[in-house]
Amino acid sequence: MLNSFRNGTFIMIKKADIVLAFILMLAGIASSVFLIYGGAAGETVKITVNGAIYGTYDLNKDEIVDVKANSHYNIVEIKDGKAFITDADCPDKLCIRQGAIDNTSQTIVCLPNKVVIEIIGPDNGGPDSYSS
Binding-site ranges for other proteins (CB under 8 A): 2, 4-5, 9, 11-14, 16-17, 20-21, 24-25, 27-29, 31-32, 35, 48, 50-52, 92, 94, 97-99, 105-107, 109, 111-112, 114-116, 118, 126
Position 89: which residue type? D
Minimum Å gap between C-beta 45 and other proteins is 13
Minimum Å gap between C-beta 65 and other proteins is 18
In this complex, which beta carbon is closest to other proteins, that of residue 48 or of residue 102?
48
Look at strands 2-3 and 10-11 and give their pairing. antiparallel
Q: How far apart are the first and last CA of the chain?
A: 49
What are the angstrom distances between the C-alpha of 77 and each of 34, 67, 71, 84, 116?
Answer: 28, 10, 20, 5, 14
